[in-house]
């Protein structure tokens, strides 16, 4: 018993060294230059995750990254499919259909049913402020039946997919000068998870943010 109690105390000390408490959020020690924060969302069972990283690249490369929707699966972690249903990405507003890989279950839930892949229809809006040197991209879940622009559009569906209940995504790319672009990625998702272990989804969301930022850093050309 003494050993168990001291093991718990040791674990708590290690955890305290990795996390810096900030109200209802925490800042984790940078992993590969990426700073992650986590924040509770009012009236939601799931948390919001934010990742921050600086890259040395060109502003034009960032713009191309945002506008090439068909290439999203190459750098958005977990994204299996992305296609424009309506609108124009060059004009800053489009409806996009996504398919994402299913959340992975921990080994100790090997008897549980395997989660299904997720799909979603999102409104993508992006804008560029030349004065502040910032590109902002927002993606929000919508009901396709309530969007006039999608009236005559066939929305893909499959019994093998689960429609995401709610999602909000923000990408911000800010030119800091000298070839440095600061990237911030925020994500809050309710994937309509039916399991009891909500921590699985928070872990899933965190990995989507962190791995996507790693992929962006590799994909953007270095100066």
What is the domain partition of the chain in residue ranges?
22-219
Dihedral sign from CA coordinates of 197, 202, 204, 205: positive
pTM (predicted TM-score)? 0.83
pLDDT at 193: 73
How would residue 187 be classed by pLDDT, with cut points 50, 70 and 90?
A: very high
pLDDT at 17: 38
As a whole-number percent, the residues of the chain with pLDDT over 90 amount to: 65
Can you tell me the distance from the alpha carbon of 119 to that of 102, in angstroms, rounded to the nearest whole number? 10
Whose CA is closest to 168, among 43, 48, 35? Answer: 48
Residue-wise pLDDT for 87-115, tens only, equals 999 899 999 999 999 988 888 887 878 88
Fold annotation for 22-219: Alpha-D-Glucose-1,6-Bisphosphate; Chain A, domain 4 (3.30.530)
Residue-wise pLDDT for 15-39, tens only, equals 333 333 333 444 444 445 899 999 9
């Amino acid at each position: 018993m003494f050993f168990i109690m001291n093991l718990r105390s040791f674990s708590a000390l290690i955890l305290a060294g990795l996390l810096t408490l900030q109200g209802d959020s925490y800042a984790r020690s940078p992993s590969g230059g990426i700073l992650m924060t986590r924040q509770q969302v009012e009236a939601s069972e799931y948390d919001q995750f934010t990742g921050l990283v600086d890259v040395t690249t060109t502003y034009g490369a960032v713009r191309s990254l945002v506008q090439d929707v068909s290439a999203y699966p190459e750098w958005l972690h977990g994204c299996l499919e992305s296609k424009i249903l309506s609108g124009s990405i060059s004009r800053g507003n489009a409806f996009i259909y996504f398919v994402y890989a299913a959340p992975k279950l921990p080994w100790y839930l090997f008897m549980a049913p395997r989660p299904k892949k997720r799909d979603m229809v999102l409104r993508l809006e992006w804008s560029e402020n030349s004065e502040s040197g910032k590109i902002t991209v927002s993606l929000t879940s919508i009901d396709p039946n309530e969007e006039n622009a999608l009236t005559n559009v066939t929305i893909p569906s499959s019994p093998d997919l689960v429609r995401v209940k709610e999602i909000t995504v923000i990408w911000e790319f800010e030119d800091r000068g000298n070839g440095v672009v600061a990237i911030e990625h925020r994500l809050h998702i309710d994937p309509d998870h039916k399991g009891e272990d909500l921590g699985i989804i928070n872990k899933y969301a965190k990995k989507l943010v962190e791995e996507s930022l790693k992929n962006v850093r590799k994909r953007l050309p270095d100066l």
